[in-house]
Amino acid sequence: MKNRVTRGRAFAAVAAVGVLSVTLAACSSGSSSSSTEASAAPAASSSAAAGGEVAVSLITKNQTNPFFVAMAAGAKKAAEANGVTLTLASGKDDTDVAGQVTAIENAVAQGQKGILITPAGPGVNDAITAARAAGLLVIALDTPTDPADIVDITFATDNFVAGQAIGQWTAGKLAGGKAIIARLVITDKESLTVDYLRDNGFLDGMGIDIADKTVMGDEATTGKYTTGKGGDYEIACLVATGANEEGGQKGMEDCLAKNPDINVVYTINEPAGLGAAVALKAAGKTIGKDVQIISVDGGLSGVQAVKDGIIGATSQQYPLKMAEFGVKAIYDLATTGTKPTVTEGKDFFDTGVVLCTNEPQDTVTITEQKDAQYCIDNAWG
């Protein structure tokens, strides 16, 4: 029977920011500004004018993570281009379900046309269902809901593929050597799709048998990885970090206390990876030689870390594109009745992923590999 890794405690939640609304109002006069950061969008098209105001809420997990900051920028750009009234809202951290539910209810009460959301967990499902019943188009961004059909459609990176890419890279880099693996995830309190898809995708990419794609920590703690030359592996730890730098550092310190010989560090995102690097350096580890850090996101600081040799490889995703497509989809439905459609062969709209590394590996077959400078040129944040 397979052993279950004991999960670490959730750590270092993002500083509380509450629910904040920022409106981009469509108007035909000059620009204006206020303490709520209101700014003028171009005049709405004739079709939008005929159908009345098109109002949309973007509800992220927080408003401090550069990924969500970039997503908001993409939504603002699309709102301005299409004459859409945009409200930005969020919870206080990545697991603040109550904050997101409040934002959903506000969008319904205001009679908005649609909602874009990076769901904080299944606790938002009932509120999303109620919003759809009230006639709003609800689109998940980045983080699929569970089940997927709770929303009308999801615009996201294929997070499992993003994980597979860094797993394949890691197996190639190890070249048959033993992998002693630390896994720094978001939380052990909620079942978050982005968390278990990236984490299990990473294991699958290495060629480690995963018992259940939707569960973290139910694989064997020791065994063989089979990608590339293959070799032995050992899971040293699986800890929650809150997906931020402070949590990544503390999580890595906890992992090193359990096993100082860790040589592979999977991180849910680059802020957690950069935090892990601090702990590894303090422990006297040479990053890139003694230990490899791999991650997912592709933000500017993250791909700069690839260029600097701190992160060996990261899967780059495109949050601006997710948000831009999402705003346009709600606008099109409201003004022309055109509904968004999924990518062929998938149950969501795939916004793409590229593996960023300066050490490409022949074992990577799931997606393209690009050097750090390419990824810097295409980075968000």
Q: What is the model's pLDDT at position 24?
A: 34
The predicted-structure confidence for 13-63, as pLDDT tens digits, reads as follows 322 323 333 333 222 222 222 222 323 233 333 334 445 789 999 999 999
- pTM for the whole thing? 0.79
Residue with the two structure tokens 């096993």:
259
Q: 190 or 367: whose pLDDT is higher?
A: 367
Q: What is the DSSP letter of 150?
A: G
The predicted-structure confidence for 263-292, as pLDDT tens digits, reads as follows 999 999 999 999 999 999 999 999 999 999
Q: Which amino acid, 129?
A: T
Burial class (CB in 10 A: 0-12, 13-18, 19+), 106: middle
- Closest by CA to 182, choosing from 196, 197, 202, 168, is 202
**Average model confidence (pLDDT) for the chain?**
87
Domains detected in the chain: 23-157+319-350 (3.40.50.2300), 159-316+352-377 (3.40.50.2300)
The predicted-structure confidence for 141-169, as pLDDT tens digits, reads as follows 999 998 999 999 999 999 999 999 999 99
Q: Residue 190: pLDDT band by 50, 70, 90 thresholds? A: confident
Cα–Cα distance measured from residue 143 to residue 157, given in angstroms and rounded to the nearest whole number? 9
- Closest by CA to 132, choosing from 322, 348, 333, is 333
Longest dimension (CA), the chain: 68
